[in-house]
């Protein structure tokens, strides 16, 4: 049978199989645990997922013993539970009756779905457990500690992946208080993205950077550590301009009489990056305490967002609700370092981009 686009997307979304990564030929065939749901039972079978050696290698799926379960042109529904496929023949009148009259099929599926714990429920319960542990010593010093410590408590290895952190859910942790005093609200990072055209970060540093002494340091270095927005030129003479006609975000300088185009980002790419990174997000709020010159965290609150409205991205950048930080410098040994361009948003603006919020006290 053809593996239609909706089926391929279902398999990919459930992290069962991705046809676009599969080679052609029988040696690349993948076998998946599967089941036929009958009017009064569930029988075991297997699904073969493959791409034949043809010009296009169109995706195929076949279930062992399928001919004994259904007839040609029957309508089949496929569900995925715990990485296994469940096939329901909706053209079979007895199966229809068992489903719609709340017989065996209905009871079996309802029970299975109730037994399934979603990643969202699983993560929320783990955060409750972490909260009950009280204050946890930070595993790293400085600003990254609040996020690194949370991920470590959840058993997540630190990474710079573009994918979400926990089974499709992105985690963002911030401090809301320190030693009992409420902290000033700070921006949260949405994602990082290199430019699609124009000067690279090192070239921007070379052309627009300044020799400065960083806070807490004694020696000067060439650097750019500044926020970029559409509202004004920053201290390095740079700002954003949203080019709606071209669907681009342009970085320009303050040259007179006409600003120079420095670098550019395609909004289509930025929107895809947002959807990849934030299909669902837990914004975790932590209380911070300093004990014997080391920081401890207690994770107290969660804001849950889902299904971002990526079409608003350009407007929110243009309005100044989304800004970006560029951090780059030359190290004492003469080598170059940057932290990328970090697109950020204030907590009070999150709902504009990321949809309805659900708030939980842990």
Residue 240 lies in domain: 120-361
Q: Which residues contact 155 (CB under 8 A, 6 or more apart)?
A: none
Same-domain status, 27 and 41: yes
Q: Are residues 333 and 232 in the same domain?
A: yes
- Whether 358 and 303 have beta carbons less than 8 Å apart is answered as yes
Same domain, 65 and 130: no
Regarding whether 322 and 184 lie in a shared domain, the answer is yes
Q: Supply the pLDDT for residue 242.
A: 96
**Are 298 and 340 part of one and the same domain?**
yes
Looking at the fold, whether 27 and 158 belong to one and the same domain comes out as no
- In whole angstroms, give the CA distance from residue 244 to residue 258: 19
Domain with residue 147: its CATH number is 3.30.70.3570
Half-sphere exposure in the Cβ direction for 350 (13 Å, CA): 24
Residues 185 and 243 in one domain: yes
Q: Give the 3-state secondary structure percentages of the chain, helix then strand then coil, rounded to 5.
A: 25, 35, 35
With 0-12 CB in 10 A as exposed, 13-18 as middle and 19+ as buried, what is 145? buried
State the Cα angle at 331 between 328 and 190, rounded to 5°.
25
Q: Kindly provide the residue ranges of all beta strands, DSSP E only, lying in 208-315, ordered along the sequence.
A: 210-213, 220-228, 238-243, 248-253, 261-266, 280-291, 294-306
Same domain, residue pair 208 and 234: yes
pLDDT tens figures, 222-268: 888 889 999 999 999 999 999 999 999 999 999 989 999 999 999 99
Q: What Rg value do the Cα atoms of the chain yield, rounded?
A: 26
Segment 78-98 mean pLDDT: 90
Task: Identify whether residues 51 and 151 lie together within a single domain.
Answer: no
- Please write the tens of the pLDDT for every residue from 2-38: 999 889 988 988 889 999 999 999 999 999 999 999 9
pLDDT of residue 328 exceeding 90:
no
Cβ distance 225 to 205 under 8 Å? Answer: no
């Amino acid at each position: 049978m053809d593996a239609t686009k909706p089926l391929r997307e279902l398999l990919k979304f459930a992290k069962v199989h991705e046809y676009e990564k599969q080679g052609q030929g029988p040696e690349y065939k993948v076998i998946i645990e599967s089941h036929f749901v009958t009017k009064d039972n569930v029988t075991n079978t297997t699904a073969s997922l493959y791409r034949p050696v043809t010009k296009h290698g169109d995706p195929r799926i076949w279930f062992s013993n399928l001919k004994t379960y259904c007839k040609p042109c029957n309508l089949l529904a496929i569900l995925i539970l715990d990485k296994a496929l469940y096939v329901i023949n909706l053209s079979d009148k007895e199966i229809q009756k068992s489903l719609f009259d709340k017989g065996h099929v209905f009871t079996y599926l309802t029970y299975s779905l109730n037994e399934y714990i979603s990643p969202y429920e699983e993560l929320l319960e783990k955060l409750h457990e972490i909260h009950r542990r009280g204050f946890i010593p930070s595993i790293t010093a400085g600003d990254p500690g609040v996020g690194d410590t949370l991920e470590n408590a959840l058993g997540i290895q630190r990474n710079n992946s573009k994918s979400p952190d926990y089974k499709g859910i992105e985690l963002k942790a911030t401090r809301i208080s320190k030693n009992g005093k409420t902290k000033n609200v700070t921006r949260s990072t949405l994602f990082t993205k290199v430019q699609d055209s124009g000067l690279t970060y090192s070239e921007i540093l070379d052309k627009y950077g300044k020799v400065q002494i960083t806070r807490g340091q004694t020696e000067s270095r060439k650097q750019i550590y500044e926020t970029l927005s559409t509202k004004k030129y920053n201290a390095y003479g740079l700002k954003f301009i949203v080019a709606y006609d071209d669907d681009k975000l342009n970085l320009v300088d303050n040259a007179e009489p006409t600003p120079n185009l420095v670098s550019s980002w395609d909004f289509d790419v930025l929107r895809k990056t947002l959807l990849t990174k934030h299909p669902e997000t837990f914004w975790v709020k932590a209380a911070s305490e300093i004990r014997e010159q080391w920081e401890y965290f207690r994770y107290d609150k969660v804001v849950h967002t889902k299904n971002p409205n990526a079409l608003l991205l350009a407007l929110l950048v243009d309005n100044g609700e989304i800004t970006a930080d560029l951090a780059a410098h030359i190290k004492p040994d003469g080598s170059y370092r940057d932290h990328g361009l970090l697109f950020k948003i204030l907590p009070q603006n999150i709902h504009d981009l990321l949809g309805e919020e659900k708030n939980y006290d842990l």
